Amino acid sequence: MERSTGYRIDELARRFGLEARGNTTAVIRGVAPLAGAAGDRLAFLANPRYASELAHTTAGVVVLAGEHAGASPVPVLVARDPYLAYARIAALFDHAAAPAPGVHPSAVVARDARVDPTASVAAGCVVEAGAAIEAGAVLGPQCVVGPDCVVGAQSLLGARVVLVTRVVLGKRVLIHPGAVLGADGFGIARGEHGWTKVPQLGGVRIGDDCEIGANTTIDRGALEDTVLEEDVRLDNQIQIAHNVRIGAHTALAGCAAVAGSARIGRDCLIGGGAGVLGHLEIADGVTITAMSLVTRSIRAPGVYSSGAPIEENRTWRRNAARMRQLDRMARRIAALEKQLESLTRERS
pLDDT (tens digit, 9 = 90+) per residue, 25-74? 999 999 999 998 999 999 999 999 999 999 999 999 999 999 999 999 99
pLDDT in tens, 241-296: 999 999 999 999 999 999 999 999 999 999 999 999 999 999 999 999 999 999 99
The C-alpha atoms of residue 342 and residue 15 are separated, in whole angstroms, by 75
What would the mean pLDDT of 198-220 be, rounded to a whole number? 97
pLDDT in tens, 113-161: 999 999 999 999 999 999 999 999 999 999 999 999 999 999 999 999 9
Running DSSP on this structure, what letter comes out for residue 166?
A: S
The C-alpha atoms of residue 228 and residue 169 are separated, in whole angstroms, by 10
The C-alpha atoms of residue 128 and residue 204 are separated, in whole angstroms, by 17
Could you give the residue numbers annotated as active site? 242
Residue 306 has pLDDT above 90, yes or no: yes
pTM, to two decimals: 0.89
